Chains A and B, each alone.
Chain A
Amino acid sequence: MSILANKDTRAVIIGGVAGVNAAKRMAQFDYLINRPLTVQAFVYPPEAGQQKEIFRGGELKNVTVYSSLTPALAEHPEINTALIYVGASRAAQAAKEALESPNIKLVSMITEGVPEKDAKRLKKLAQQHGKMLNGPSSIGVMSAGECRLGVIGGEFKNLKLCNLYKPGSFGVLTKSGGLSNEAMWLCAQNGDGITSAVAIGGDSYPGTDFVTYLEMFENDPATKAVVLVGEVGGNLEEEAAEWLAAEPRRIKLIAAIGGTCQEVLPQGMKFGHAGAKEGKKGAGSARSKMNALREAGAYVPDTFGGLSKAIKQVYEELLASGAIKPESELDEALLPELPPSVQEVMRQGEVVVEPLIRTTISDDRGEEPRYAGYAASELCSKGYGIEDVISLLWSKQLPTREESEIIKRIIMISADHGPAVSGAFGAIIGACAGIDMPQAVSAGMTMIGPRFGGAVTNAGKYFKLGVKEYPNDIPGFLSWMKKNVGPVPGIGHRVKSLKNPDQRVKYLVSYVKNETSLHTPCLDYALEVEKITTAKKDNLILNVDGTMGCILMDLGFPEHSLNGFFVLARTIGMIGHWIDQNNQNARLIRLYDYLINYAVKPERPVPDKK
C-alpha cells in the first residue's frame, strides 16, 4: 500500500528536456517493477506534435508531446497526475491548469523559485478543487513497488539498493530532495524499506504540509512508522508534533530536524532552502521543533547520523509487537538489470557488431580530422597544399613536390571553359531561374558524362590497357578499340586540330615531359596513338581529357578517381558562373523561338476520350 502514487497512477509531464529526463528515470522504475509506463504524455508547446523516445527496459516507447493539457487529457483519459517541470515564471499557470482539469487528482511541482504568492494561490486552488498539490521544489514521490513520480530515488542501481521494488513499512516525509533519498536508504538498511516517500519541497509555503501527509500515512495500513526530516523555519514540524500529540496514533514518528547550528551562526543566515529561516524570537527554530516533537512522543535523535539507530529501534519494536511480519528476503539476483546500450556492451567486449560501412581515407573521431592518418592542421603547418589533400583522399598517397605541381596544373587548366559548354550553361540557366548555389551547380554537374568532360576515366583506362596489352602494336590497340569500345576516349576534338592545337594540351604535355622527372608510359603511348589517328583525320588529336587521364594514370591515381579531377575543377568554374549571374541580378531566361525548330504536328482538335 502507499499514499499519493500507486499502480493506477498515470502521469502527464508538463515541461521540456528536464521533464523528458524525468520520464526516462521513471520508465526505469516502471521496468524494475514491471508496470506499464507511468508517463503517458508530455505538454510542451515548443515541441508539440513530436514524440519522445522512452525506453522501458529494452522496449522503446514513443510518448507524444501536446501543445496543451486539454488535448493530452482528451487522448489519455487515464491520466490522473500532472508533474510540473517548467520554469518558475510559467509554472504557476501550468499548475493552475492542471488543478482545474477534472481528471487530474495530484499535481507535483519540481520547479524551484516559484514566487510565494503563486504558491499560496495554488494551494488555495487545490483545496477549493479537492486536489492534492505537492511542492513546489519537490523532487517527487516514490511508492515502493508501485509508482515513481519524478527523479526521486536516483539511478537504477540505487532503486535496488533502497529496496524500492517492494513495499516496506516506513513512510518518508522530507523537505529536502536529497534527504528523501537518504531516508529511503536508511529505511532499507535499518528496516524493511518504505511504503511511500514524499518530498514536500523546501519552500516557505508548500502546497501540502506534513500533517496532511501524516494523516494519509495513518490511514494507510501498510505504513507502520514515518521518518520525517524537517528543518528550521515555518511551523510545519510543530503542527506535526501537535497532530501526533492530539490523539493516540497508529503510526510511530521518527524525526530529524536540521538547523540547530543556527543558534551559533550569524543571525538571519540563509540556508539552502527558501523556507529554512528562523522567525522572530526563536519561533520555528530547530531546537523548538525538536522539543515539540519529543514532547509529542516522536523519536528525535540529536543528529541526522542518529536516524539509523532510531529507525532500527522502531523497526525492532514493530517486529517484536507483531505489527510487522518478517518477510523472507527477496533474491535481488532475480531483479531485472537495465539493458545496457550497444556502446556499453561493446566497451566490455561482450558483443560483436558488424560495421555498416568501412572507410580507408579519413577519421574525425579525434580532436581534428585526419586524412589517411595525417592531422589536417599538421599538413597545413608543414606547408602542404590542397593538391596534397586531394591526393591523400583520392589515392591515399602523399605526392612528391613534382607530382603536386602537376596535380595543381591539371586542376588549374580545367577549372572553367566559358559559359557556352554544357556544364557552365546548365549552372547559368539554374542561376537565372533563381535557384540556390548547390542546386544550380549540381544542374551543371549533371551534364558531366560521356559527351562532356566524362572521358578522363575511360581515356586513362584504355590507354593503360594499350600500354599493357598492345605495347608495341598501336594498330592492334586501335582495332581492338574499334571492335570492343568504339572511338578512342581522349582522342578527337570538335574544333581543335593538328593545325589549331589545344594550348592546354600542349602546355601540359610539355610541362610534364620537360620540367618533371615523371615516368609517363601512358602519356607516351597516347602520343603515339595520336600520331596514327591524326594521320587519318586532322582533328583526331589527343584532347585535354585524354591528356589528363594519361598523366593521372602515370601519377598512380586509381582509375575511378580520374573523372573526379574534371568534376572538382569544373565545380570551381560553375560556382563562379553562379556567383557571376547573381552579382548581375540575371533574370530568368528562355530560348527564343527562332532557336527552335518546331517540328510538331499542326494544331488540331482533341478527339473525345474513348
Chain B
Amino acid sequence: MAKILEGPAMKLFNKWGIPVPNYVVIMDPDRLAQLGEANKWLRESKLVVKAHEAIGGRFKLGLVKIGLNLEEAIAASREMIGAKIGTSEVRQVIVAEQLEHDEEYYVSIIGNKDGAELLLSRKGGVNIEDNWDTVRRMQIPLDENPSIERLTELAVEAGFEGEIAERVGKISSRLVLCFDNEDAQSIEINPLVIRKSDMRFAALDAVMNVDWDARFRHADWDFKPVSEIGRPFTEAEQQIMDIDSRIKGSVKFVEVPGGEVALLTAGGGASVFYADAVVARGGTIANYAEYSGDPADWAVEALTETICRLPNIRHIIVGGAIANFTDVKATFSGIINGFRESKSKGYLEGVKIWVRRGGPNEAQGLAAIRLLQEEGFDIHVYDRSMPMTDIVDMAMKS
C-alpha cells in the first residue's frame, strides 16, 4: 500500500484523461512568479495553494489557502514553504486553479478480492459521510472493464441526468482504466466538480493509493510513496527504511512518541502480538519494530541502536516466535553489538531488557545475549519454553 501525493495523482489522472484543474508543484516561490509569466491561467484564475506534504488536517493548520490571485499565491507559498509542523517541514506546495463550480460530486474506486468497487454520489464534498446513503455502487470484476453505457446507467441510478450522466459515466470509465492500468489500490475523488456554463469537469482533490509492489512494471512512476501515518517520517524512520531497501529480509521501525516500552521484535506476525500484549497490560509502546527474513546482523544492529535512543523508555522487548530460517545467533549478535554500543554512549540507563526467542541456532544466540548480564545490563533471557508474550507480562509487573 502506498499513498501518493496529489501532484503525482493528478499527473496519472491527466495521463488517463480524467479532467483535473491546471496545477503546478513548486519548491521555490520565485519559480511561481516565473511560471505566472508563462501561464495565462496563473494570472487570470483564482488560485488555491496547498502544502504538498503528507500532513493531516492541512486546512486547520493554515496550510490550505483559497481564493488567491497570483501575487497572493506567491506570498502564501513563501509563507508555507519552510514552515515547521511538529517534526515535519513543508518543502513543496501545489498551486492549482480554483475552479468556480456549480456542483460537487463524489467518485471513488476501491480494490477488493474479486476486483474493485466503484462508488458514485451526486452529493460529494466535505459532507459526503452524511450523504453516504446517496452512494451507488458497482462491482467491477477482475480484468473486466464495464462499458460507458453501463457506467452511465449507474450515474443515472445515482441521480445524474442527461449530458451530465453521460459525462460522469465517461469519467468513471477513465477512472476504471486508470485504476486498472496503474495498479491502484484505491482512488477517491472528492469533489469532482462541474461548471455548468461550459460543462467543464475537474477532480479538485484526489487521494490515491498505488500498489508499490507493482512498481517494477511502471517506468513512469517518478514519485515516492508518502507516509501513511498522518505525519512525515522522522529521520530515524527514514534511516531504517533506507537500510530496509538495501538488504535481504527486512527491518521496520515506526516511532510512537511518549511510550515507555520499546519493541525490538522479530517477524511481521509476532511483532504485532507483542505490541498488543503491551497495550493489553496497560503499557504504552514507544515504537513498532520488526526484523524478519534473516536480515544481515549489521541491519539488526542499526535497528537496535535506533531503538536504544528512544527517549524515556523503561523496557525493551526483544521478542520473537520460533523462527523458521532467521538465524537467532547471527541476528542476536547484531542486537548484542547494538546494546553494547548504545550503553557505551550513555543510553539504556535504568532500562530493563526482556528476551524470548527460538529458531535456528537458538541455544548459541540465547547464551550469547545472556552473557550481557555480566556486563551490567539489566537483561532477562528466556527460551522457547516461555510463552511468547509472557515476557511483556513480566516486564509490566516488574
Contacts and interface: CB of A to CB of B under 8 A. Distances in A.
B277 to A, nearest CB: 5
B272 A276 contact: yes
Contacts of B113: 120, 123, 205
Interface stretch (B44-52, B97-105, B225-233, B335-343): B225-233
Indicate the member of A124, A153, A277 with the most B CB atoms within 10 Å. Answer: A124
B332 interface: no
Contact of B272 (A25, A261, A305): A261
B322 A178 contact: yes
Contacts of B142: 117, 120-121, 124
Given A152-B324, A181-B322, A267 B229 contact: yes
A443 interface: no
A294 to B, nearest CB: 15
Contacts of B250: 272
Contacts of B272: 231-232, 258-259, 261, 271-272, 276
A175 to B, nearest CB: 6
B269 A175 contact: yes
Contacts of A21: 325
B389 A303 contact: yes
Contacts, number: 189
B216 interface: yes
A207 B206 CA distance: 31
B71 interface: no
Contacts of A112: 293
Interface string B9-25: 00000000000000000
B360 A178 contact: no
A390 interface: no
B268 A154 contact: no
A179 B216 contact: no
A162 to B, nearest CB: 8
B121 interface: no
Contacts of A89: 216-217
Interface residues of B, number: 62
A113 interface: yes
Interface string A76-92: 00000000000011000
Interface string A253-290: 00010111101111111111110110000000010000
B359 A158 contact: yes
A367 B267 CA distance: 36
Contacts of B276: 258-261, 286, 303-304
Interface in B22-37: none
B390 interface: yes
A178 B216 contact: no
B273 A181 contact: no
Interface in B274-291: 275-280, 284-285, 288, 290
A176 interface: yes
B143 interface: yes
A271 B288 contact: yes
A256 B273 CA distance: 9
Contact of B228 (A139, A270, A302): A270
Nearest to B179: A117
Given A120-B113, A176-B270, A261-B276, A267 B321 contact: no
Given A185-B322, A305-B387, A269 B269 contact: no
Contacts of B235: none
A317 interface: no
Interface of B: 1, 111, 113-115, 142-143, 180, 183, 185, 211, 213-214, 216-217, 228-231, 250, 252, 254, 256, 266-273, 275-280, 284-285, 288, 290, 292-293, 320-326, 358-361, 384-385, 387-390, 392-393
Interface of A: 21, 25, 88-89, 112-118, 120-121, 123-124, 139, 151-155, 158, 161, 174-182, 185, 189, 202, 205, 229, 231-232, 256, 258-261, 263-274, 276-277, 286, 302-305, 307-308
16 contacts: A114-B213, A116-B214, A117-B211, A155-B359, A174-B269, A176-B321, A178-B320, A178-B322, A181-B359, A202-B268, A263-B279, A266-B256, A270-B254, A303-B389, A304-B277, A305-B387
